[in-house]
Chains A and B, each alone.
Chain A
């Protein structure tokens, strides 16, 4: 019970406060909506007026632009004309100057060329003379060297020929000696075989026996049968 009294005590002022706040909010919201509607109307009027003004200003600006462009075109044409004229005069002046300078330079170059030409001819003469002198000396030296080489070659060839001849001679001699030696050896063999054959046939049985006994005696003398 005691607790219910406390709740009512608290809830009553809170409820009153909330009601008051809702009332105030509704009042001020209505005022605000009203004011906003007025402001919108005024804004729309201003915008319409501004649009009219802007259209007028754009028309003026377009007109002004056309005038400026026309004036610029005239100025450009004048400038081009003037530039062409000035440039032509300038070129004419330059060409004249160049021709004059060219003549001057041409003269100097001619002179210089002649001097150089003389110098070159002189130098060529000197060089040719030197070449001729050097060539003569070289030719003499070459002839001398050639002669020496020729003599040397002849000497070398003769020496080689002599060597080759000696070698060939030696080889032939060696070959000949070898062949002669073989022939002699062959003859010796034949003679030996013939001798053996003839002697063998000529020996009688008695002599054979005697030779065998002589061989045995000799073997005995040399201790072959020694025990």
Chain B
């Protein structure tokens, strides 16, 4: 991954965020040859505030002239390719996560997985609790549903119910 874009990439934790930013960058990229609006106007029009700030900040650091369509266009193309190249881990969980939960999960990956990635969260309440994890073709289910079914198969819960 290009180090140039790390500060911008830090904004992205989930797949939905990545998709949103990619869409915004695409719109801005396509508008560069439109002479009617200034670059600043275009960025204000197509980009979210946080992304705009990060991009301008990065351009300042790297000495990229955002008014130079060709130069700025090349920067945006690189950013787009970098975002598209981020690895994705899919998590099936049993509850609707709040932003804090996303942050918590993302922090876990920051600590436990050195490589930068994005998480794709899918909600399936039948899982009861825990998560199903899919990453790079690998699959792992650690859910309460699975655990309960296993216990049912062994007859442990039935025995417990009889005792009750």
The residues of A with any CB-CB pair to B shorter than 8 Å are: 188, 191-192, 195-196, 199-200, 203, 205, 207-209, 211-220, 222, 224-225, 227
Please count the residue pairs between chain A and chain B whose beta carbons lie under 8 angstroms apart in the complex: 92
- Which residues does chain B contribute within 8 Å of A208, judged by CB atoms? 93-95, 101, 129
Question: Chain A's interface: helix, strand, loop or mixed, by majority?
Answer: helix
The residues of B with any CB-CB pair to A shorter than 8 Å are: 89, 91, 93-95, 98, 101, 104-105, 108-109, 112-113, 115, 125-126, 128-133, 135-136, 138-140, 142-145, 148-149, 152, 157-158, 161
> Which 4 A-B residue pairings sit nearest by Cβ, starting from the closest?
A215-B142, A215-B131, A219-B140, A211-B129
In the complex, which of the residues A192, A200, A220, A224 contacts B129, with contact meaning CB atoms closer than 8 Å? A200
Tell whether, in the assembled complex, residue B148 and residue A216 are in contact, meaning their CB atoms are under 8 Å apart: no
- Which residues does chain A contribute within 8 Å of B158, judged by CB atoms? 188, 191
Which residue, A191, A214, A219, A224, has most C-beta atoms of chain B within 10 A?
A219
- Which residues does chain B contribute within 8 Å of A203, judged by CB atoms? 94-95, 128-129, 144
Tell whether, in the assembled complex, residue A219 and residue B133 are in contact, meaning their CB atoms are under 8 Å apart: yes
Report the separation of the CA atoms of residues A213 and B108 in the bound assembly, to the nearest whole angstrom.
8
In the complex, which of the residues A191, A200, A215 contacts B140, with contact meaning CB atoms closer than 8 Å? A215
Tell whether, in the assembled complex, residue B94 and residue A216 are in contact, meaning their CB atoms are under 8 Å apart: no
In the complex, which of the residues A188, A200, A212 contacts B131, with contact meaning CB atoms closer than 8 Å? A212
